[in-house]
Every structure is written in C-alpha cells, then in structure tokens.
C-alpha cells in the first residue's frame, strides 16, 4: 500500500526530527524488497509481540523499539501477519550495536550493564590505559536482539542495520 506516496524522511522534517539517522528497524525476517508495498499497517505484528517492542512508527508502518526491551525471536509477529512479508528461512536481520559518546564509560563512570545483559556475550569491555574499560562489540556473536540497547541506563546503545544476509 505504498501507493499513498509516504515519505518517512519528509515526515521527520515536519515533526522537527530531521536529524534522526538511519531507517527504522523493522520486525525480524521482514523482506525489505516488499515491505512498504505489501504492509497494510494492520498492527497484527505489534499486537502479537509478547515483548511489546513492535509499535506503529512513521506512517503507521511497524517498527522495533529496543528501548522497550529485546527481541526473543519467538516468531509471533511473523505468524500473525496476514501478508507474505516475513521469510523465516533467512536470518532475522543484521543489526549491530553502536555505542554513542554518551556512554558512561566515556565520562570515566564504570558501567558494564550492556555486557551483563547480553545473552550471547557479544558485548565486551577492553582495558584502555588511563581510562575505565571501554565497550567493544563482537559482531560474530551478536544476534541483534537489542538487550544491550534496552538495558543501557543512558540510552547510549543503539542498533543499526548493517546489511541483510541474502
């Protein structure tokens, strides 16, 4: 139903959020080639999500908000969708945590919450001479579940899509 001419970039400008970076994170296993054309914005995926991390985003299209929690990859969103938007034969997505300058470790505050909550052990802290240990991401171990982002006390961890695995 993308025939309505929806442009998320223009909408952000209208709401004073022109600096927002990157595309919204869509639910796992969504086929990006068909998403805007086939998503009817019915809300079935959001209603089915037991973690309540899927909600209507710009234009009513579902988006994942990792500030609310992590994805457990239960598949309820894919099962609930009446459209052929999900392909569970492929990896759910390729997201990578990004750590902003607002991370407490950059202010010499010892915090390793993201490491402690990561179910895969992908968040690590490395020693840096003269500073508190600094966060590092082991991309090979990261599933993109968002646990690190939801647990960060200052919201310094975000997830960005780095490319889908074909």
Cβ atoms of 148 and 114 within 8 Å: the answer is: yes
Residues in the chain: 166
Tokens of 139: 């991309």
End-to-end CA separation in angstroms for the chain: 24
Tens-digit pLDDT profile for residues 88-106 = 998 998 899 999 999 999 9
Residue 120 backbone phi and psi in degrees, to 5: -100, -5
Cβ atoms of 57 and 24 within 8 Å: the answer is: yes
Provide the 3-class DSSP secondary structure of residue 96: strand
Tokens of 108: 């010499």
Q: Region 125-133: what's the mean pLDDT? A: 94
Q: Region 12-33: what's the mean pLDDT? A: 68
Q: What is the pLDDT of residue 32?
A: 78
Q: What is the pLDDT of residue 10?
A: 54
How far is it, in rounded angstroms, from Cα 49 to Cα 20?
A: 25
Residue 134 has pLDDT above 90, yes or no: yes
Tens-digit pLDDT profile for residues 29-43 = 998 778 889 999 999
Hey, what long-range contacts does 132-136 have (CB within 8 A, 24 or more apart)?
132/105, 132/108, 133/105, 134/105, 135/99, 135/103, 135/105
Q: What is the pLDDT of residue 75?
A: 96
Confidence band of 15 (pLDDT split at 50, 70, 90)? very low
CATH numeric code, 95-161: 3.30.70.20
Confidence band of 58 (pLDDT split at 50, 70, 90)? confident
Q: What is the pLDDT of residue 16?
A: 47
Please enumerate in sequence order all residues whose Cβ is within 8 A of that of 132, keeping only pairs 6 or more positions apart, or say none.
Answer: 105, 108, 109, 110
| Average pLDDT across the chain, whole number | 87
Taking alpha carbons only, the member of 166, 153, 145 closest to residue 113 is 153
Domain range list for the chain: 2-80, 95-161
Q: What is the pLDDT of residue 12?
A: 45
């Amino acid at each position: 139903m993308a025939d309505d001419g929806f442009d998320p970039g223009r909408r952000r400008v209208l709401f004073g959020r022109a600096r927002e970076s990157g595309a919204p994170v869509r639910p796992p296993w969504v086929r990006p080639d068909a998403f805007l054309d086939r998503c009817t914005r019915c809300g079935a995926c959001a209603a089915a999500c037991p973690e309540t991390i899927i909600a209507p985003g710009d234009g009513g299209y579902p988006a994942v908000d990792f500030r609310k929690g992590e994805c457990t990859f239960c598949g309820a969103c894919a099962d609930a969708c009446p459209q052929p938007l999900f392909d569970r034969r492929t990896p759910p997505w390729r997201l990578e945590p990004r750590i902003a300058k607002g991370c407490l470790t950059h202010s010499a505050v010892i915090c390793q919450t993201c490491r402690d909550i990561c179910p895969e052990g992908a968040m690590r802290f490395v020693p840096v001479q003269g500073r508190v240990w600094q966060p590092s991401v082991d991309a090979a171990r990261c599933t993109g579940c968002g646990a690190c982002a939801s647990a960060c006390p200052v919201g310094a961890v975000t997830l960005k899509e780095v490319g889908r695995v074909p």
